[in-house]
Structure 1
Amino acid sequence: MRWDLLFADLAAQLDAAEVADGMQAVAELTRAEQATILLTDRLRAAVGGPLDLHLADGHRLAAEVRDVAPEWVLLAERSRQHVVPLTAIASISGLTRNALTPASHVEVGRSLGAVLRALMRDRAPVRVRTTSGQLDGRIARVGRDHLDIEEPRHDQGPGRTAGSGRIVPFSALVCVSET
């Protein structure tokens, strides 16, 4: 009888150890899976919802997520839209733990340069915020790692306006907004 209790206790200890090992394995697999999640996947799961972003220049942007690409996020704040490079985001509040992978792995035409070239073709007036200030104007050119902003100049006499250009490296770009 004592041996029956001894072996039952031993079996219970082994079962408990197996359960603990299983729980530890599940926890490790969960951590490994979480390590594969990209910020863009979490932002993609937030499309249509509000977020609070703190940007590299110290500004805060409370807006709705409209679109997400590998290098940028499109946000809508009241009547203005903003393209924010992911590298310019210092922190985000309001993201859930949910993640959504892209429907297609083809992201051609979704680079930061591509979206800036679309704004350039549209000749849309923009406000470009950089790590050192802001510029108002139109995007005149988009290179591989920079853009040229044509700022309006009004010192050319009555009725004449000429533009002057400023070059902004993508590394200094914080936000491109509708004006």
Structure 2
Amino acid sequence: MRWQQLFADLQAEFEEAEAAEEWAQLPSRARAETGAVRLAERLAGALGARVSLRCRGAGEVAGRLTGCGPDWLLLEDDAGREVLVSLPALLAVTGLVRTTAAPEPASRVRAVVDLRRALRGLVRDRSAVALVLDDGSALTGTLDRVGADFVELAEHAADEFRRPAAVRRVRAVALGAVTVVRTLAPGAA
């Protein structure tokens, strides 16, 4: 009888010590989990929310977050224009919600839908765009092609369609210099 009581007391002490140790590890475990969250995952939790992004060269870019890729974000601004933001150009974010998207398993499809693929969609659409570069300058025109590390822009006035007579020059722009791409409607500035 006394042995059973002794073993029960030892078991209770052990369980109490184990619970105290687990309780003490909770903050460090939470910090470790937070430390593994990438900014893209944090932003993906805010899909549908209004966010404000501070971007290198472009300043503040605000709107409703409508899409996220491995190296880009898509916003709809207050004028209803789509704004593609290069994730490496992102400096700070406001408007994040409490949720964070769960990390997605590595997927071949997700990996190939990068900034270059998104820009190729604009090439196919023949959409007029304003490219904002990391030095703060802006170029307007129509994207002609996207290479491995560059994009070619047929520069023309924002209020004109891409016609041979309207194109002032074709400029190759280093993809790493592109921070923000805004779609424009012909006639918009």
Give identity over the alignment, percent: 27
Q: Is the 2:153–2:173 Cα contact (8 Å) retained in structure 1?
A: yes
The answer for the alignment partner of 2:23 in structure 1 is: 23
1:36 and 2:36 equivalent? yes
Name the CA distance, whole Å, in 2 between partners of 1:59 and 1:67.
20
Name the CA distance, whole Å, in 1 between partners of 2:104 and 2:20.
37
* Matched positions, count: 163
1:134 and 2:138 equivalent? yes
Q: Which of 149, 158, 162 is the matching residue for 2:153?
A: 149
The answer for the alignment partner of 2:161 in structure 1 is: none
Q: Superposition pairs for residues 76-155 of structure 1, below 5 Å?
A: 76-78=76-78, 79-101=80-102, 105-106=106-107, 107-132=110-135, 133-152=137-156
TM-score (norm 1): 0.81
CA deviations 1:21-55 (Å, max 9, x no partner) are 32221111111111111111111110100011111
TM-score (norm 2): 0.77
Name the CA distance, whole Å, in 2 between partners of 1:149 and 1:136.
8
1:163–1:103 distance in 2 versus 1, CA, 3 Å: same
User: 2:139 is matched by which residue type in structure 1?
Assistant: L
Q: Unmatched 5+ residue regions in structure 2?
A: 1-12, 158-163, 185-189
Q: C-alpha root-mean-square deviation of aligned residues, in Å?
A: 2.4
Name the CA distance, whole Å, in 1 between partners of 2:178 and 2:166.
26
CA deviations 1:36-91 (Å, max 9, x no partner) are 11111111110100011111115111211000011000001021110001011110
CA drift of 1:95 comes to: 1.1
Q: Which has the higher strand share?
A: 1
